[in-house]
Amino acid sequence: MHASVTMTNMHQTGSQTQQALTNFPFPLPRVAVEFIYAIAEVKQAAAFANAQAGKLEEDIAQAIQESCKEVLAGKFDDQFVTPSIQGGAGTSINMNVNEVIAEHATELLSSNGKAIQVHPNDHVNLSQSTNDVNPSALRIACLRFVQELQTEVIQLIKSFRQKSEMYKEVKKLGRTHIQDAVPITVGDEFSSYADVVERDLKRIMDCIPYLTQLNLGGTAVGNQINASSEYIKHVYEKLREVSGLPIEAATNKMALTSSTADFCALSASLTILFMDLSKIATDLRILSSGPRGGIGEITLANLQPGSSIMPGKVNPVAAESINQSFYFISGKNLSILQASEGASLELAVMFPAVAESILSSLKLSISVIRVFRLKCIDVLVVNTDRCLELLEHSTAYATALTPMLGYDVVSEAVKEAVKTKMSLRTVVLNKHLLTEEEFDQKEGIERIVK
């Protein structure tokens, strides 16, 4: 996360960036550098397209493109200083980038003996508006983060499936309402986790076709004022080359200028993923409870001391990180929804809140899922003896016995098992309701536990 914005940066900045620092002196992280880089890619493509369209002198266009490349190399990271939340639809973000690129492009021309002042608006921002540059750049940044996220989620799914295969024959107690329910296997449980997450990933990936559609070329409100058709043709060709992404012009650029619903869809899908991951993390916390006073069916890795006062205590911190990430991401999701609804007429004016929220959520999700896989799922151990012990001392076999013995007979057996603290197996055998072989081969039991 970037350092908070301070006024000490002002001597490095252009006039509009200085105004932004004065107007928005907020103790917040700066705009994400990944977003800044995507804007620089848009500026690089725009300079090329404007030259091809005959709207920008070739030497200025080349200087702007070279300046953009140096931005992308990280040379000027310390000069992108505006806070992530600010008034306006992100004009200060766009102008900060314009001014940094223009200043360095001027220096490049000067070093070649050309006394040309590159203007941040007239040259770098030519044929563009904040209102088509920023949303387009945000889509590019999101597409890249989604690619990283996909890689991490696929690895997590593989980890769940490996645990499922490893413990596929381990019998355990299935629970509903946190009460004894029916026999299952550990393999069943982890296989279900894998499939849940796989479905969630599909929802996220379904957002990609929408994110690849840009309103670049729409300029102020999406009706393409001051952007020629020749420019639009070349800017997309160049941006595809520069970004390496299959982006295309939206059919209706006004729609994507006034609406940020595509980011809402991505955020909602991400929130659903973390809702499920948080549920799974809570399951693991419950199943690992103990070590002596809880369920203890699984053991999680000992990552750090769990208490400053209770010696030897170990907490499920990797799982808890998933829970807390869900709270964070779901909160950001609400911010995105409200900021998107706050659009007025032809412009999504609350864009900075959308950008900050979706980028923060995506970046956190990639990191925390990786940690969860490596420090929780990959290294957890199933305590097979404990699983069998709890199953045998539960009433879970009751459902599978009902088809043969009847609901009432099994109910009485369950009540006696609870009262006498004997296993249901023992009660059934003592009453001579079934032989041990018959008990193990009852329809349902045989299918479930073998």
Q: Which region among 8-12, 108-112, 231-235 has the lowest average model confidence (pLDDT)?
A: 8-12
Q: What is the CATH number of domain 7-30+57-125?
A: 1.10.275.10
Closest CA to 167 of 18, 359, 385: 385
pLDDT in tens, 49-76: 999 999 999 999 999 999 999 999 999 9
- Given a contact cutoff of 8 angstroms between Cβ atoms, the answer to whether 109 and 116 are in contact is yes
**Cα separation, 401 vs 414, whole angstroms:** 11
Residue 127: active-site member: no
- Given a contact cutoff of 8 angstroms between Cβ atoms, the answer to whether 181 and 172 are in contact is no
Question: Can you state the angle between helices 33-52 and 229-243, rounded to 10 degrees?
Answer: 140
Q: What is the pTM of this model?
A: 0.92
Other Cβ atoms closer than 10 A to 438: 14
Superfamily of domain 395-449 in CATH is Fumarase/aspartase (C-terminal domain) (1.10.40.30)
Determine the pLDDT at residue 445: 52
pLDDT in tens, 349-375: 999 999 999 999 999 999 999 999 999
> How is domain 132-385 classified at the CATH fold level?
Fumarase C; Chain A, domain 2 (1.20.200)
Q: Is the pLDDT of residue 22 over 60?
A: yes
3-state secondary structure at position 339 = helix
Residue tagged active-site, from 307, 321, 344, 367 = 307
Give the pairing of strands 248-249 and 298-299.
unpaired
The mean pLDDT value for 31-42 works out to 98
Q: Is the pLDDT of residue 8 over 60?
A: no
103-110 long-range contacts, Cβ below 8 Å, gap at least 24? 103/14, 104/67, 104/70, 104/71, 104/76, 105/60, 105/63, 105/64, 105/66, 105/67, 106/63, 108/63, 108/66, 108/67, 109/59, 109/60, 109/63
The mean pLDDT value for 307-318 works out to 86
Beta bridge partners of 4: 29
Determine the pLDDT at residue 446: 54
The mean pLDDT value for 183-192 works out to 97
The mean pLDDT value for 142-155 works out to 98
pLDDT in tens, 99-123: 999 999 999 999 999 999 999 999 9
Q: Is the pLDDT of residue 7 over 60?
A: no
Same CATH topology for 7-30+57-125 and 395-449?
Answer: no
Determine the pLDDT at residue 443: 47
pLDDT in tens, 359-418: 999 999 999 999 999 999 999 999 999 999 999 999 888 888 988 899 999 999 999 998
Q: What are the structural domain ranges in the chain?
A: 7-30+57-125, 132-385, 395-449
Query: What is the phi-psi region of residue 250: left when phi exceeds 0, alpha when psi lies from -120 to 50, beta otherwise?
Result: beta
The mean pLDDT value for 285-299 works out to 95
